[in-house]
């Protein structure tokens, strides 16, 4: 898996102060996508074990308390990304059990395959669905268009 951006302190993508990772790779090609440079899986830079360890360390850091981790992109549930994302969310649950995980995907919750659903079993808040330009509303929080749904899963 590759990624484009990592913010160790972020207050925009989800509730509270968070760590946020924007991964590479998206198949949805939504018209009006604000992040087209993330579509290719080989764009950005490799997501290494060093980076994974950094995220865990940031979540554990007591000096700046984070509520959790946000995963966006690109699409964290792109088939190419699912193994690395699954490994990351398992580590967060095991090593940072008090942190929540939010995930944004262009897929729809009830259409996910088995391994995508396994990832979702670790996710607290899922924002799903493609970005639909005709349903765009800038006043929406944490989503861009009305068709997208915020699922509070656990
Ligand atoms: S799912 Fe997100 S990143 Fe992918 S094309 Fe749609 S808006 Fe862009």
pLDDT tens by residue, 64-111: 999 999 999 999 999 999 999 999 999 999 999 999 999 999 999 999
Q: CA 9: distance to chain centroid?
A: 15
Q: What does the block give as tokens for 21?
A: 């990772």
Question: What was the pLDDT predicted at 2?
Answer: 98
Helical H segments across the chain, by residue range: 49-60, 82-95, 114-120
- Name the pTM for this structure: 0.97
Cβ(28) – ligand 1 distance below 6 Å: yes
CA-nearest of 91, 80, 70, 90 to 19 is: 70
**Candidate from 2, 35, 116 with most ligand 1 atoms within 8 A of CB, to mutate:** 35
CA-nearest of 45, 46, 63, 47 to 9 is: 63
Burial of 144 (0-12, 13-18, 19+ CB in 10 A): buried
Q: Ligand 1 center to residue 60 CA distance, Å?
A: 30
**Candidate from 33, 105, 132 with most ligand 1 atoms within 8 A of CB, to mutate:** 33
């Amino acid at each position: 898996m590759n990624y484009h951006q990592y913010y160790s302190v972020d207050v925009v993508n989800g509730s509270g102060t968070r760590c946020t990772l924007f991964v590479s790779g998206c198949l949805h090609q939504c018209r009006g996508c604000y992040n087209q440079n993330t579509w290719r899986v080989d764009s950005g830079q490799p997501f290494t074990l060093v980076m994974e360890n950094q995220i865990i360390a940031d979540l554990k850091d007591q000096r700046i308390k984070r509520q959790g981790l946000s995963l966006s992109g690109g699409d964290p549930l792109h088939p190419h990304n699912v193994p690395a994302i699954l490994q990351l969310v398992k580590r967060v649950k095991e090593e940072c059990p008090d942190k929540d995980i939010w995930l944004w995907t262009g897929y729809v919750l009830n259409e996910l395959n088995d391994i995508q659903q396994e990832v979702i079993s670790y996710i607290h808040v899922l924002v799903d669905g493609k970005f639909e330009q005709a349903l765009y509303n800038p006043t929406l929080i944490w989503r861009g268009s009305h068709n997208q749904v915020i699922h509070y899963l656990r």
